Structure 1
Amino acid sequence: MTIKEYLEKIEIKSQAIFKRSIQNIEYFGSANHFSTCISDFSSQINDINDKNMLAKVCSQLEYSYINLAYGMYRQAFSSLRLAMEMGLGAAFFSVHKLEQYEWVNGRADIIWSKLTDKNNGVLSKRYALAFFPELEGYIEEYNKKATSVYRQLSEYVHGNNETWGKNGLILTYQQDLVDLFFGYFKQVAEIILFVLSCRHLKSFSDIQADDLLFLREEMNHIAPIRELLGGPKE
């Protein structure tokens, strides 16, 4: 078999997986909706570097479910983890401008342990008290959720042994991984929206907030966010 024949065989198999994948159209529609929500949120932010980072977040979210559609499950989980890192990184850099410029210039990395540091990270009570004090009581829950999801996604990035049994070595459709991925996707999107809301929502004008009414639905379970956007009080 020539390399051309081999690649053509892979293409046929990928197309077959794609056709099965898009039978889960509600999953993909929900994922696209969350990506659009984050994009719409970023449109209200003035800082160009913050805005550019969130554009990269949206692109990685989209790459993740496109990879999934073609059966590239490990790559899908990897892109989803990167989107999560950059989403929280955008909130972190919004208040650490020196580190942001070092990152933009390629002289610094996004460090996950800094993002989730319980004392100084974007999911710390200190951070909430600075920008949205009413969210202080939700911080511990979201810090635990972010840490857990990141660890589980990292298993696919680092190639932990048990993930090879799930992902396999052969290109094939796997519904269990589709279900698992979109479960993680929803959690990642919710965590990013929570952190962005904590950082920016109170700084927006009423007109800007009116363009973010999707948060009232997606974050309806977070009373301070719902109420700030004009939703019902508890």
Structure 2
Amino acid sequence: MAHIRQATNEAELEINRVLHLEADLNSWLKVLEAYPESQQLRSAHQDFGLAFYAAMSGLYRQAFSGLRSFLEVTVGTAYLSALEFKRRQWVSGRLDISWSSITSLDDGIYSTPFLREFCVEAIADQSDMIGSLKGAYRRCSEYIHGSVSTAQMLPTTISLREQTVQEWLSVAATALESVIYCFMVRYFKDLSSIQRQAIEASLEDHFSNRVSIRRLLGLPLEEGAAES
């Protein structure tokens, strides 16, 4: 409890940002409740909650492990929702899906063929968003597998490492943004106008600098972006 109190006091602004993103993610989960994959998405949301608790409690390796699990399941679920046969095989345990296939530039969730069918506007931000997604996953993996650089940052006892807490919160914010953007890519155009109203404000709040979001929401574009 001493660790939790100290960690939350010293990282209040960063924690508020993460919790704001988490609340927006929860808005998406409510919108997607009728979809068959909603159970997997809710389970991954619980993984995020446990990872957050671990980070605030000083269980840093576990915190990054839970965050990676959250990324794998949410992005993988969104990707497989477009491949119903494979999604059912995955849920039944007859298919394993790899991170490399989820993020493949040939046919993954950010591949050009996938974006052309589900959200052609996102092609403009394709490189940046796949970079953010892969970067968050890679940093989590480094903590899990004990790279030299991360091992030096992990205490041998439960004690506060402010730099590690700050990094977890930074990676968590990137992970949440990446997941919300993936949801936008996969689901936004399938939503009713009422469903869109529940998540449009959060999209504008977090991604108003993205050409894809501005086009989807009908926001004005800068002159150069409008011509591209």
Common fold: TM-score over 0.5: yes
Q: State how far apart, in whole Å, the 1-side matches of 2:5 and 2:188 are.
A: 40
27-36 or 119-128, which deviates more = 27-36
Aligned pairs (5 A) from 1:166-177? 166-177=153-164
**CA distance in structure 2 between the aligned counterparts of 1:130 and 1:188, rounded to whole angstroms:** 24
Q: Which residue of 2 aligns with 1:32?
A: 19
Please list the CA deviations of residues 161-216 of structure 1 after superposition, one character each: whole Å capped at 9, or x if unmatched.
33221113221101000111111111111111111101111111222111112111
**Aligned partner of 1:63 among 26, 46, 50:** 50
* 2:209 corresponds to: 221
2:63 to 69, 76, 87: 76
Could you tell me which residue of structure 1 aligns to residue 148 of structure 2?
A: 161
1:71 maps to amino acid: G
Maintained 8 Å contact 1:85/1:110: no
Question: Is 1:19–2:5 an aligned residue pair?
Answer: yes
**Normalising by structure 2, what TM-score?**
0.90
Structure number with higher relative contact order (C-alpha < 8 Å, ≥ 6 residues apart): 2
* 8 Å Cα contact 1:124/1:140 also seen in 2: no
Change (3 A) 1:230 1:134: closer
- Amino-acid identity (%): 24
The residue matched to 1:120 in structure 2 has which SS?
coil
Does the CA-based 8 Å contact 2:125-2:211 persist in structure 1? no
Unaligned stretches of 5+ residues in structure 1: 1-14
Structure 1 equivalent of residue 186 of structure 2: 199
Structure 1 residues 55-107: Cα deviation after superposition (integer angstroms, max 9, x where no partner) = 12221221111101110111111111111111211111111122211221222
Taking structure 1 as the reference length, the TM-score comes to 0.87
Structure 2 unaligned spans of 5+:
223-228
Q: How far does residue 45 in structure 1 lie from its aligned partner after superposition? A: 2.3
1:137 to 118, 124, 127: 124
1:46 CA displacement: 5.5
Q: Which SS does the other structure have where 1:167 is aligned?
A: coil
RMSD of aligned alpha carbons: 1.7
